[in-house]
Structure 1
Amino acid sequence: MTTESRIASFFGLDDMGWAKHANPWSGWTRFITCLPLFALAVWSRVWLGWWSLVPIAGALLWIWLNPRAFGPVQDDRAWIARGVFGERFWSNRHRVPVPARHQIMPNILNVASLTGFPFLVWGLVAIDPWPTIFGMAMIIGGKLWYIDRMAILYEDMIVQRPELRYRQPSETSSR
């Protein structure tokens, strides 16, 4: 089992979960809102004191709720949907191998994205906008590049094995 498949399992990403996660509304609102809302919630400790735990909890709830808040994607035409489905292939590579050309770059991009984390933490602790913004840009930029590579992985996988192409699951599907 891969680290990514454990994370997917923790977040309840079965067939329906992945289909909802791939909805462009879910994908783009994650990029636009999750990290900035969390950062703002942490910064609110300056204005709200201990009451800042309320917006922090709200931001964390949104991060958890977002992949569940939207209906399943209809098809795989959207770039972000293909990226999420490629991410699913990547997380399940222990069961269905991915092409050799996709073995290294996802790990590099995940590490690159994580390099923004210390800057984000520094900015949140110091209430300093520059390291906060720089950290968020590194994290989000790395994740966007990762999703782009996952879209390419998805396209390669469905060319090799057309039966893997996304088909909208029924509401009772939970594979």
Structure 2
Amino acid sequence: MDMKKGLSKIFLPDEESWLHHANPWSIWTRFATLPFIVLAVWSRVWLGWYCLIPIVILVVWVVVNPRLFAKPTSFDNWGAKAVLGERVYITDKDAASLEKHKLPILILNGLQTIGGLILIYGLWDLNIYLTLHGMSFVYLAKMWFLDRMVWLYEDSQ
């Protein structure tokens, strides 16, 4: 089992979870969590070890979020297609529709990782510029990745 599939099993363990996560409320409230995580980690300066309280709350939120919202009445929107495309990418590695997407997805995952490393270093060093650049890099690469997932989903239909 690869890492992406393993993480998927933790956050979205079954088909029902994926369908619930395709709800726009689930997608965008989870997507908006990164700045709060950054702020929670940065708060170690003011809160010391008590910063773990908001960090744990946010991690629980990320795990629970896909199960909180009802299945959407329609899957005909960009966010739902992005989630369903990601499900195709993770669960059906041998799909013929995936072939032309493999290299761009690999590159985008690499870009997200680079942005994440910059973000982590910025948080560790309390460097606001690296933190903001890393977070921006992560968000831009993630949005591009999600757009690719929409394309993948539409190709698989």
Length-normalised TM-score, structure 2: 0.91
CA distance in 2, matches of 1:71, 1:98: 29
Superposed CA offset, 1:134-163 (max 9, x none): 1111111111101100101111111xxxxx
Q: Give 1:95 shift.
A: 5.4
Q: Structure 1 residue 13 and structure 2 residue 36: aligned?
A: no
Whichever structure has more helix as a proportion of its residues is 2
Change in Cα spacing, 1:54 to 1:99, as seen in structure 2 (3 Å) is closer
> Is 1:68 aligned to residue 57 of structure 2?
no
Where do 5+ consecutive residues of structure 1 fail to align?
159-175
The equivalent residue for 1:140 is: 139
Q: CA deviation at 1:52?
A: 1.1
Q: Which runs of 4+ in 1 moved over 4 A?
A: none
The worse-fitting range, judged by mean Cα deviation, of 2-11 and 65-74 is 2-11
Asked whether the 8 Å contact 1:20–1:68 carries over to 2, the reply is yes
Question: 1:1-175 alignment to 2 at 5 Å?
Answer: 1-32=1-32, 34-94=33-93, 96-158=95-157
Q: Classify the secondary structure of the residue corresponding to 1:67.
A: helix
Shift of the alpha carbon at 1:74?
2.0
Shift of 1:25: 1.0
The amino acid across from 1:25 in the alignment is W
Q: Secondary structure at the match of 1:103?
A: helix
Q: Flag structure 2 segments of 5+ consecutive residues without an equivalent.
A: none
How many residues are paired up? 157
TM-score by length of 1: 0.83
Equivalent pairs: percent with the same residue?
39
8 Å CA contact 1:2–1:92 kept in 2: the answer is no
Residue pair 2:89, 2:98 contacting (<8 A) in 1 also: no
Bigger-Rg structure (1/2): 1
